[in-house]
Structure 1
Amino acid sequence: MQRHPLHYTSLYDAVFLAAESLSSARGRKVILVISDGTDTTSQVQLRDCLKLAQNSEAVVYALVVQPIKSEPGRNLAGEHAMIFLTERTGGKFFKVSSPESLHSSFTNISDELRTQYYLGYYPRPRGEKGKFRKIEIRVGNPTYKIRAREGYYAK
């Protein structure tokens, strides 16, 4: 029996539900998205998805599978949404166009998750509960690369 895809994707809903389920979990939290990046049927908006991912302290990694034939004028909004989400949660975006690049992306994510450092601080004053607070991390050596979430929600 051959099945035909229905072309419906609730991508933001899926990330939202993943972040919601991780919000009470302890330890490192990672959401791995494998998709073409296009959302067609979600009930939640991208900004709500981002807010909950940030609130749950989850890092989002996205592997966006590119079509076999890349047509001119192809809609890139889904890719841009995934870049937006990954950059703001401290994750990373990967374009996948072949089995080799899929394997390479998984290896990259695995290596990265094993070699991370954590930095913590206690802000003063604590600020208004529920308000988003931006953070900036700088290093003196320009050869080091920092990738971190853009901030957090005060609890």
Structure 2
Amino acid sequence: MRCASNRILAGLILVAAFGIGLDRLSISSANWDSPAQQSKPPAQKPPQNQKAPEDQDKDILRLAADLVLLDVTVIDAANKPVMDVTQDQFQVLEDKVPQKIEFFSREQVPVSIVLTIDTSGSMKPKLDTVIKASVNLVKESRPDDELAVIEFKDQPELLEEFTKDVNDVIDTLQGLVASRQTAMLDALYLGADYASKDGKNRRKAVIIVTDGLDKNSYYKFNEVVKHLQETDVQIYLIGFTNDLSKDGTWVFGKSEKDKAENLLNKMAAETGGRAFFPKELSEVHTIAQQISTDLRTQYVIGYYPTNSRRDGTFRAVKVSVNAGNRRLLARTRNGYTAPRDGGSPTSGKPE
């Protein structure tokens, strides 16, 4: 009974810290009874092996650190978000082993969003439309959301720190000017790092707009992927790849366009985000709306791993939905890195 109580309390600590609404949170525990259901036990001496209060507190904090939380988007065959899936219709596998869902919510929660805009010279013809779409996305933010702005040319620069002041963010966006080369990987690294460390909301996202071809980054692809493995930040990308070469090389057979799209898809898939490749500039406004909807129509699923080793290894995670005849797809991060003593779970996937 004490273990179940500690798990409930540990979960409530995290729920309060992360802002998940208690009114919509489902908490599962096999032996959790209400006071009315419990008969009053006879007076007993405390057992000799009962832990001191401070030791119980440590157990609760450890349980809180071991809890794995997943932001899950469910879509139908038409790629539309689905928000009527119940807890018992979800299945969570960790390293192919079924996990018991302890916490479940489908409440809209605040988001910390880093808008990361490519202002290299090749984006000049598109920048005005990108800015307008970004401004529309900002205007749809909720009062508890916070937004930041990063621009990147030959190197990334944080122009606007996290703020809830929509007008400040809009002013920053409208002051962007295109020039020089593209350090996309550096910008992605900086955006994820800043969101992870400085974002006050549990749900964090980087929205990056680029033509997709990195030319001037300090960080390499594998370094950025490893960094994403260590953060729980969803990456959404809008890639204008149509202007890139479609001709493959003789040795590797992949064109610039293919390589750019593969890179952007990889970044999105690692984090449970999504990559978009508009064929027309006019599609950007619709895509911005889709991203905004995606971020606000997610489930939160929490579980305590059956593998309780705190060994710092990667754990592959897969979430699926069994909804009868409905064909639904659940999208979330690919996994997380188990904590070591003194740490908490992080997302990721090994190379």
Q: CA deviation at 1:150?
A: 0.6
Identify the residue that residue 60 of structure 1 maps to in structure 2: 235
Identify the residue that residue 86 of structure 1 maps to in structure 2: 268
Q: 1:153 aligns with which of 326, 337, 341?
A: 337
Q: Does the Cα contact within 8 Å between 2:320 and 2:329 map onto a contact in 1? A: no
**Counterpart code for 1:39:** D
Q: 2:307 aligns with which of 102, 108, 125?
A: 125
SS at match of 2:321: coil
Q: Does the Cα contact within 8 Å between 1:23 and 1:55 map onto a contact in 2? A: no
Q: Does the Cα contact within 8 Å between 1:53 and 1:59 map onto a contact in 2? A: no
**Counterpart code for 1:152:** Y
Q: Distance in 2 between matches of 1:151 and 1:92?
A: 16
Say if 1:127 and 1:52 are closer, same or farther in 2 by CA, change over 3 A: farther
Say if 1:66 and 1:140 are closer, same or farther in 2 by CA, change over 3 A: same
Q: 1:101 aligns with which of 271, 279, 283?
A: 283
- Match status 1:14 vs 2:187: yes
Give structure 1 regions of 4+ aligned residues with deviation exceeding 6 angstroms.
none
Q: Distance in 2 between matches of 1:103 and 1:147?
A: 23
Q: Does the Cα contact within 8 Å between 2:312 and 2:338 map onto a contact in 1? A: yes
**Counterpart code for 1:40:** K
Q: Distance in 2 between matches of 1:105 and 1:127?
A: 41
Q: Deviations over 1:61-91 (max 9, x none)?
A: 01001345x6541512111100011011101
1:139-150 equivalences in 2 (<5 Å): 139-141=321-323, 142-150=326-334
**Counterpart code for 1:136:** K
Stretches of structure 1 lacking an aligned partner (at least 5 in a row): none
Say if 1:102 and 1:137 are closer, same or farther in 2 by CA, change over 3 A: same
SS at match of 1:137: strand
Say if 1:85 and 1:72 are closer, same or farther in 2 by CA, change over 3 A: closer
Q: In percent, how many aligned pairs have the same letter?
A: 27
Asked which structure has the greater CA Rg, the reply is 2
Q: Distance in 2 between matches of 1:112 and 1:50?
A: 22
Say if 1:9 and 1:129 are closer, same or farther in 2 by CA, change over 3 A: farther
Say if 1:72 and 1:137 are closer, same or farther in 2 by CA, change over 3 A: closer
Q: Distance in 2 between matches of 1:139 and 1:88?
A: 19
Considering fraction of residues, name the structure with more strand: 2
Q: Deviations over 1:32-62 (max 9, x none)?
A: 1100111112121222212222321000001
Q: What RMSD, in angstroms, separates the aligned Cα atoms of the two structures?
A: 2.1
Say if 1:130 and 1:8 are closer, same or farther in 2 by CA, change over 3 A: farther
TM-score by length of 1: 0.86
Q: Distance in 2 between matches of 1:47 and 1:71?
A: 23
**Counterpart code for 2:237:** A
TM-score by length of 2: 0.40
